[in-house]
Structure 1
Amino acid sequence: MAPHPQTVSEKIMTQLNAGQFKGAFKTAKAATRQFPKEPYFYNLAGLAQAQMGDERAAIPFFRQALKMAPGNRDVQNNLVQALISTGQNARALSLLEKLLPKRPDTSHVLYLSGMARMRSGDYPGALADLDKAVAEDPRNAAALNLRGVVRQEMKQEQEALTDYEASLAIEPNAPDTLSNLSLLLGQLHREEDALAASEKALAINPNHFAALEGYAILLNQMGRRQEALATHERILALFPHHAESLFEVSHLHAAEDHDATLARVDAAIAKVSKSSPDMGFLAFARASLLQQAGDIDGSDLWYRKGNDVFARHRPFAKDLAIAEKDDILSLFAGGPPLPDGQAQEPVPIFILGLPRSGTTLTEQMISSHPDVYGAGELATAGRLAHAHLDAGGPFDADAAARFAQDYRAALPAMPEGTRAFVDKMPSNYRLVGMLLAAFPNCVILHMRRDPRDVGLSMWRTYFSSPAMSFTFDQAAIALQINLYRDYMDHWKAMFGARISDVDYADLVTNPEGGSKMLAEACGLSWVEDMALPERNRRAVRTASVNQVRQGVHTRSVGGWRDHRDALSELLTGIDPARWPDLPPD
């Protein structure tokens, strides 16, 4: 006797709810053959595929279900979300445009449209859709949450916080929103609140992937490495080949687990597409493990493989970088534009230079002083600079005053009695003219490090920021190193002693003497903790998060020489005319 469709559907739902996605797909696929006129089973087969992480394979099932039941909202939503998940945002938007006039739930359709626009990088368009979604239904918690994500990407942190809180007021136990809130609170230096939000999300759903991932990252930033490792192991228990967690474990594992970790990475490499971003993370993980074992040639080979993958997915726009340099320096061609602005406290201390030049170490030293707050890498100056460039006009006294006001308005809350704060965004080297014009009493600390060591370090480090896509290509790294020298030569010619050079090699060779020099440059009294930055327990949100906990060392000084063959493109690309003072090989 043939089973009733209802009995089969109940079996599939039981499997889905139990996390038995492979079994659910097998049952649903068999049901599509047994009940070929029932769109419900095609939809369930697609759902099972999507839950297994294969949204691309789910799409044909959703399409067939929609063909059979074109008015079914659940099927419409599932197909749109699968298209978005696989990067087919234009197709998703095209389908949503057809659905919008037909669906009574306008707010939800606009929410999906906002999601598609966000995934395609159109943040203003996404924000416009989500504003309409919230206007249509002020209690659309999902739209409020997603608008928070978009605003966070647009560096509108306070507005994003308001959206997350409004979403949680409607649905207080939503793990997605709690996870997003945790990420934002961490960026706002509210680490304990961020931990609480992650822990609440995981109490609601212990296997919530985004909450687990965010929790692991936050714990590592706070120096709680063993807890971070344990959380990544929870992720790997659910997804044994998860590339980003294996990448993190390759840096956090105990020495005695080295061989076992390498075997896990190799098993994942055998499973993933050789051209996918996952392969980039796994190649970096393998390279790191080989580096730890002293296999320099093997490590370099896998760093190259990883970088090649990332470079294909995130190409560097070199023409834009060159044009930006010309635009910025043209604003400061006629002499020092230093207005008679009012000196304010807390005093900004800007640590800048090439990425991987020692900015994190220097911040850890300075922020060990009890009167100094370490604010990390603030994107505010860059955002304000781009807004000024887009608007056009000179960077005059009025522009400098607006820059200073808007910058200070975006600062995180600081402890009472803070006399100075550190902004260690390395790329602020592009903006020295703006910073000195806006903050007459600021301190500019310029990190100097052999660009060949810097280039090697960048090439062996994964950066998630789109602005760092040049680090995956040695020729692009060399170009950026040359542009950096152009910037700094220009600023030094204009401002001279207003810029204090900090030599990385001197700092790591003599931490006490270097920290005393930093104290003097910043107008601070020296304290012993400044020479022991590894004791500083503040959260570190940069690529140096693991290294800075190891204490000061000189192992990387001149390290590029051991990788000479692997760095041929970098070494050839560094312009000797721009770098006449570069030490010989």
Structure 2
Amino acid sequence: MAEADEGLGEINAALNGFRAALELMPRDIPLHYSIADLLTYQLQTDEALNILEQARSIEPGNTHTLLRIATQLNAAGQREQAASVYREVLRLNPDDGEALLQLALALPSEQLGEIQAAAIAALKRAAPKTLDRATAEFSAAHLSRRSGDQVQAAEFYRAGNKSVSQILPYDRRQQNHLSQEVLSRCPAPIALQPEAGQGPFPIYVVGMPRSGTTLTEAMLGAHPAVFAAGERRIDERMVAALLTSSPFGTAEVQELARVTRENLPPKAAGSRAYVDKMPENFRFLGFLLQATPHAKVIHLRRDPRDTALSQWQTLFAGGALPFTYDLRAMAHRFNLYAGLMAHWHRVLPGRILDVNYEDLVADVQGGSRIIAEHCGLEWVAEMAEPHRHAGQVLTASVHQVREPVHARSVRKWEQHQETLAPFISELDPELWPDLQQT
């Protein structure tokens, strides 16, 4: 019952169901994981960590539990504590790819030597065409890059991406179908019906992954009237409906709004607005604004070549986002994205604020003022220091968002033009006219 409720987006009911099951089976470790996952989704970090510690007490040497605890600590910004748990995992299993990967990203440069030999040994032992192999390759890539060996890093990144793409190939036909289904259902300007305010209004922060959405969420979350709610699961329901050509009319829109509103994290109740920063909600903006007409939309635009480089150098959890591991697939998905965003601007005129990542990091105060104004909020100085106010971060930006805002990644793609050539060559010039000028 709990699993069914979770699939329907009824998070609170699912939590109650899993907790009831745990009373019957208090030593069932997967049940602890299920509860912790939902508590994490609801941003109840301390409670999630407590549940995982209970699981740890049942089986202290369970590396799956330890990895979850480390991930939770990492998400909360407790990097040293997380590193300590990752080291414990490696003592139990020297080949654990996730622990090596996270340490390769998080350890200070002077401490990288302690895991370099372990990463190479794990790579030699990992079976080909497995996620374990890919994780070891990405770990070695991060270590090489951070140690200054960019040539070796490029080779490891190429190998890691190839490994994932062989396991999780990108489905172009499915993505074309999804985009066409969206366009066919929202072909003309959308007349949004007024909605009486019911609790906090959503601020959808959209864009391609690694385009600055987490940074923008942290800026907004620093505002006392805004609650950063992470990446909500709306897109899962939308994808299922569209891929199966299921109806999605007024009744479905109202149900989407109800489920979303009733399953917000508890802290959102006293806020004027909450941020949903699921980047790929860009595919569903017409539906989302029909469900919540009072919502605000912020679209992060970043040079696609810098975005692509960042994606290419990232192993997303569980091999998520299959298009990011194949440069030509990446270009295909970027073109679909650009086409959809142009469409939403046509059918939702004036509802979407475009924010250039490059402008935002160059002038944090000015950019955050524009964002606040678009959302109907009075600007506060805390918005210009998002690294001081970042809450739970569960995305690949977990390390960067806790650093002061910088522009070091702007035009970084120029150092990797040869690697990115297949991606750049397949970008549609009509969809990316700015690239012709740079």
TM-score, with length taken from structure 2? 0.95
- 1:274 corresponding residue in structure 2: 128
1:199 correspondence with 2:57: no
- Report if aligned partners of 1:337, 1:433 keep a CA contact under 8 Å in 2: no
Picking from 567, 573, 576, the partner of 2:420 is 567
Secondary structure of the 1:575 match is coil
Supply the AA of the counterpart residue of 1:367: G
| Conservation of the 8 A alpha-carbon contact between 1:341 and 1:439 | yes
Residue among 132, 153, 168 paired with 2:22: 168
Displacement of 1:389 in angstroms is: 6.0
Aligned partners of 1:183 and 1:194 also within 8 Å: yes
Kindly provide the amino acid, as one letter, of the partner of residue 360 in structure 1. Answer: T
Counterpart pick for 1:211 among 65, 89, 111: 65
2:123 and 2:242 mapped to 1: Cα distance?
45
Report the CA distance shift for 1:399/1:338 in structure 2 as closer, same or farther (over 3 A): farther
Report if the CA contact (8 A) 1:453-1:560 is conserved.
yes
The Cα of 1:493 is off from its aligned counterpart by 1.4
**Which of the numbers 258, 280, 284 marks the counterpart of 2:138?**
284
The alpha-carbon deviation at position 161 of structure 1 amounts to 2.0
Deviations 1:484-533 (A, max 9, x none): 01101111112221111111011111111111111111111111111111
For the pair 1:235 / 2:89, whether they are aligned, the reply is yes
On the 8 A contact 1:470/1:476 being kept in 2, the answer is yes
The answer as to whether partners of 1:243 and 1:282 remain within 8 angstroms in 2 is yes
Over 4 Å off, 4+ runs: 150-156
Distance 1:530 1:280 in 2: 37
Q: Does 1:390 align with 2:247?
A: no
Whether contact under 8 Å (1:296, 1:563) holds in the other structure is no
Please say if residues 375 and 423 of structure 1, whose CA atoms lie closer than 8 Å, have aligned partners that are also in contact: yes
* Corresponding letter in the other structure for 2:201: V
Give the residue type in structure 2 aligned to 1:426: P
**Matched residue, 1:554:** 407
- Which runs of structure 2 are paired with 1:336-485 in the superposition (5 Å)? 336-384=190-238, 386-387=240-241, 390=244, 392-393=246-247, 395=249, 397-464=250-317, 468-485=321-338
Matches of residues 56-95 of structure 1 in structure 2 within 5 Å? none
Q: Distance in 2 between matches of 1:438 and 1:165?
A: 31
Larger radius of gyration: 1
Which whole-Å deviations, capped at 9, do the CAs of 1:2-54 have from their partners, x for residues lacking one?
xxxxxxxxxxxxxxxxxxxxxxxxxxxxxxxxxxxxxxxxxxxxxxxxxxxxx
User: 1:505-516 maps to which residues of 2 (within 5 A)?
Assistant: 505-516=358-369
For residue 350 of structure 1, give the secondary structure of its aligned residue in structure 2: strand
Structural mapping, 1:518-533, within 5 Å: 518-533=371-386
The residue type equivalent to 2:18 in the other structure is Y
- For residues 166-194 of structure 1, the C-alpha deviation after alignment (integer angstroms, 9 at most, x for no partner) is 22212324334223322221112111110
- The 1:172/1:394 distance shift into structure 2, 3 A limit, reads closer
TM-score under structure 1 length normalisation:
0.71
CA–CA distance in structure 2, aligned partners of residues 382 and 164 of structure 1: 21
Decide whether the 8 Å contact of 2:235 with 2:280 is kept in 1.
Answer: no
Change (3 A) 1:345 1:151: closer
1:213 and 1:235 in contact (8 A); partners too? yes
How far apart, CA to CA, are the structure 2 residues paired with 1:483 and 1:388?
A: 16
| Structure 2 Cα separation of the partners of residues 359 and 583 of structure 1 | 25
Query: Quick one: percent identity of the two aligned structures?
Result: 35
Match of 2:42 among 188, 207, 219: 188
Q: Using the TM superposition, name which of 329-338 and 406-415 deviates more.
A: 406-415
Q: Distance in 2 between matches of 1:215 and 1:548?
A: 20
- The CA deviation string for residues 195-224 of structure 1, in whole angstroms up to 9 with x for no partner, is 111112222322122211110000000000
How far apart, in 2, do the equivalents of 1:283 and 1:542 lie?
20
The C-alpha deviation readout for 1:545-565, integer Å capped at 9, x for no partner, is 111112211011111110001
Q: Deviations over 1:247-275 (max 9, x none)?
A: 11111222222223212101111222233
Question: 1:265 and 2:119 equivalent?
Answer: yes
Q: How far 1:450 moved relative to its partner?
A: 0.6
1:268/1:550 Cα in 2 relative to 1: closer, same or farther (>3 Å)? same
Instruction: Considering Cα pairs closer than 8 Å and 6+ residues apart, tell me whether 1 or 2 has the greater RCO.
Output: 2
Unaligned runs of 5+ in 2: none
Instruction: State the superposition RMSD in angstroms.
Output: 2.0
Note the alpha carbon deviations across 1:79-107, whole angstroms, 9 max, x for none: xxxxxxxxxxxxxxxxxxxxxxxxxxxxx
Q: Which amino acid is 2:282 matched to?
A: Y
**Residues in 2 aligned to 1:401 and 1:177: alpha-carbon distance in whole angstroms:** 32
Q: 2:429–2:436: 8 Å Cα contact kept in structure 1?
A: no
Kept in 2, the 8 Å contact 1:381–1:407? The answer is no
- Distance of aligned partners of 1:415 and 1:438 in 2 relative to their CA distance in 1, 3 Å threshold: closer
* Structure 1 Cα separation of the partners of residues 329 and 146 of structure 2: 27
Aligned pair in 2 of structure 1 residues 154, 259: CA closer, same or farther (>3 Å)? farther
2-side partners of 1:477 and 1:280: how far apart? 18
- Give the 3 Å change call, closer, same or farther, for CA 316–449 of structure 1 in structure 2: same
For this pair of structures, how many residues does the alignment match?
A: 438
Letter in 1 for 2:308: G
Q: Which residue of 1 aligns with 2:103?
A: 249
Are residues 421 and 320 of structure 1, via their aligned partners in 2, closer, same or farther at CA, if it must alter by over 3 Å?
same
Provide the C-alpha distance between the structure 2 equivalents of 1:316 and 1:384, rounded to a whole number of angstroms.
19
Paired residue for 1:76?
Answer: none
Map of 2:170 onto structure 1: 316
Alpha-carbon distance in 2 for matches of 1:538, 1:444: 21
1:582 paired with 2:435, answer yes
**CA spacing shift, 1:382–1:368, aligned 2, 3 Å:** same
Paired letter, 1:456? L
User: What is the Cα deviation at residue 415 of structure 1?
Assistant: 4.5
Q: Does 1:220 align with 2:86?
A: no
Distance 2:7 2:313 in 1: 26
Opposite residue 284 of structure 2, the aligned amino acid is: L
| Matched letter for residue 310 of structure 1 | V
Amino acid at match of 1:304: R
Letter in 2 for 1:514: G
Contact 2:296 2:352 in 1 (8 A): yes
The answer for the alignment partner of 1:300 in structure 2 is 154
SS of 1:186's equivalent in the other structure is helix
C-alpha displacement of 1:160: 3.5
